[in-house]
Structure 1
Amino acid sequence: MRNVTLRQIRVFAAVAQQKSFTRAARELHLTQPAVSQQLKLLEAEVGLPLFEHVGRTIHLTPAGEALLHYATQINEVLRAASESFAEMRGLKRGVLKLSAVSTAKYFTPSLLSAFTVEYPQVSIKFTVGNREEIVKQLANNETDLVIMGRPPRELVTIAEPFAKHPLVIIAAPDHPLANAQRKIPLKRLESENFVIREQGSGTRASMEHVFRERGVEFHASMEVSSNETIKQAVMAGMGVSFISKHTVSLELAAGKLVTLNISGLPLLRDWYVIHLRDKRLSPITVAFRSFLLARGAEIIERTVG
């Protein structure tokens, strides 16, 4: 593969990511024939097909999967070099790729906003998903840093706590237990309907751990894939829910939801900033990590309480 060019690598990576020649051409500001030509030359150099068409969808072949792994590394090294040189020139710029579990999306924009005051030229690529999706991104080196509640045990990472993460049980304001002055035993909720997150969610895992640890069962009447749907369902009286307090600050302040006075709650966990241990962090990524450790807790407290 002595004659492979960086342009071919970039075109290949764009098509692999977009799963479309047209979208990749648009992203790279090239014509579609130019994209096809670059891939044709690359496949000739590799000696194996890199893509296969199934209907109107394109998929990576095993050779394509292997090449994507190396192409990602090549692009990362070039990006890190570019940002290092920019740092040497005294420029506060670079690309920050950040991923966060969906529960963290309620305060992460505020963190990024404060960071860009200090680094106005930073370019941010921010993605949100459930825990399972974010761990997969981390494992595939598709992101620089991750914000989540529990470090993944299946990966070798560096995980640093930067803020407290309270978990509570919420209910509609007219719920019979809404105004209880005394602590309510968790076991009292065995007769309640719970609206819960989907499998793969960190909140779901935390809930199951707490109930299992205390020998309490729960009845899941509804399973949904977003915190917003949970809040709407609870406000509509469809049940109670175990949820991050950071997701319901506005609704609590407006009196649309209440937290139940449950014994042992709120459960205090931590928010972590995480990266793969062997990943070479760019200067802008190091700057954001340091920013989170120094100011993250204060900004979260101010934003979502």
Structure 2
Amino acid sequence: MHATLRQLRLFLALAETGSVTAAAREQHVTQPTVSMQLKQLADSVGLPLYEVTGRKLHLTEAGERLAQTCRDLFDRWDAFEMEVDGLRGLTRGRLRVAVVSTAKYFIPRLLGPFSERYPAIEVSLEVANRDRIVSRLEQNLDDLVIMTAPPEHLDLRTEPLLENPLVLVGALAHPLAKRTRPAPRGVLSQERFILREPGSGTRISCERAFAEWGFVPQVRMALGSNEAIKQAVAGGYGIAVLSRHALDRDPQHDGLALLQVQGFPIRSRWYLVTRREKRLSPVAEAFLAFVKASVETVKA
């Protein structure tokens, strides 16, 4: 019997998500790739591993046993990786991470578990606006940077990290708050906006989307803090575009309503950024791998 680690990871993803589509999304591959790899795995085992009745996927007895074997295997592999980390000297060291201010809403959910796994590693976290983060990149001060709009004038290595949907919010009493279907974009011409300061990642993403729509917003004020914007919007001073990560799971707790308008949420993404010429330390490499493996836990 021959099976690759890739096939086993894809099968475990299938077993845990319950669909080929979800497994493909989780493993960042195409659906045909998953189907092909799983067929090869089933051929190698010599028995069907799952069946679909109606629209529901069920593991066969062989599939259930293989899924448990995969879990045992990857649990042991994780333990082995931690042992190797110790051999690499990751029982101590320092990690320097810089993030734009909006990322402060999710970065603790990554740094906390990482620090638990590597308690002797000193983690330095810098939270600042985009201009300050770009300056730190220029000076090569950090091991890794998390931001939404990497600067184009630097030679950088960027890796997609996490979706950062930008949503439209208004006060609870706003007329659009009651809509269940998106209103046309034309209604925005009647609104006054409270936006992040020029140069922020959120503002850059907004301006790109607005330019594509041929829309020029009436900007009532620009603020450098998501918290200040939320307070102003809740007070009825205008509407705003904010990262979904900056809001409570139930925005009403912030006194806000998600407004349904065509074009929202605006698609945006967080990136892991380093200078291309920078050689990552073993600690930074470990954090990079840890983040990639843990990103599902911080989805908005």
TM-score, reference length from structure 2: 0.69
Secondary structure, aligned partner of 2:202: helix
How far 1:91 sits from its partner (Å)?
Answer: 4.3
How far 1:92 sits from its partner (Å)?
Answer: 2.0
Identity %: 42
Q: Retained in 1: the 8 A contact 2:206–2:241? A: yes
Paired residue for 1:120? Answer: 119
Letter in 2 for 1:174: A
Distance 2:88 2:293 in 1: 25
Give the 5 Å matches for 1:248-287. Answer: 248-250=247-249, 252=251, 254=253, 256-287=255-286
Structure 1 gaps of 5+ residues are: 1-85
Secondary structure, aligned partner of 1:249: coil
Paired residue for 1:246? Answer: 245
Paired residue for 2:48? Answer: none
How far 1:89 sits from its partner (Å)?
Answer: 6.2
Kindly report structure 1 stretches of 4+ aligned residues shifted beyond 6 Å: none
Distance 1:255 1:100 in 2: 24
Q: Retained in 2: the 8 A contact 1:161–1:293? A: no
Letter in 1 for 2:277: D
Secondary structure, aligned partner of 2:175: coil
Paired residue for 1:100? Answer: 99
How far 1:108 sits from its partner (Å)?
Answer: 0.6
How far 1:260 sits from its partner (Å)?
Answer: 0.6
Letter in 2 for 1:165: N
Secondary structure, aligned partner of 2:160: strand
Paired residue for 1:228? Answer: 227
Distance 2:221 2:143 in 1: 34
How far 1:161 sits from its partner (Å)?
Answer: 0.8
Tell me the alpha carbon deviations over residues 244-300 of structure 1, each in whole angstroms, 9 at most, x when there is no partner.
11101256152621111111211222211110011111111111111111112x121
Distance 1:89 1:147 in 2: 25
Distance 2:129 2:121 in 1: 26
Deviates more, 1:252-261 or 1:165-174: 252-261
Paired residue for 2:142? Answer: 143
Q: Retained in 2: the 8 A contact 1:165–1:269? A: yes
Q: Between Structure 1 and Structure 2, how many residues are aligned?
A: 216
How far 1:150 sits from its partner (Å)?
Answer: 2.3
Secondary structure, aligned partner of 2:267: strand
Paired residue for 2:60? Answer: none
Matched, 1:162 2:161: yes
Q: Retained in 2: the 8 A contact 1:168–1:265? A: yes
Tell me the alpha carbon deviations over residues 34-58 of structure 1, each in whole angstroms, 9 at most, x when there is no partner.
xxxxxxxxxxxxxxxxxxxxxxxxx
Letter in 2 for 1:268: R
Q: Retained in 2: the 8 A contact 1:96–1:285? A: yes
Distance 2:190 2:247 in 1: 24
Paired residue for 2:298? Answer: 300
How far 1:157 sits from its partner (Å)?
Answer: 1.0
Q: Retained in 1: the 8 A contact 2:165–2:265? A: yes
Tell me the alpha carbon deviations over residues 95-139 of structure 1, each in whole angstroms, 9 at most, x when there is no partner.
111000111110111110011121111111111111121111011
Deviates more, 1:148-157 or 1:211-220: 148-157
Distance 2:121 2:221 in 1: 41
Structure 2 gaps of 5+ residues are: 1-84
Secondary structure, aligned partner of 1:203: helix
Q: Retained in 2: the 8 A contact 1:173–1:255? A: no
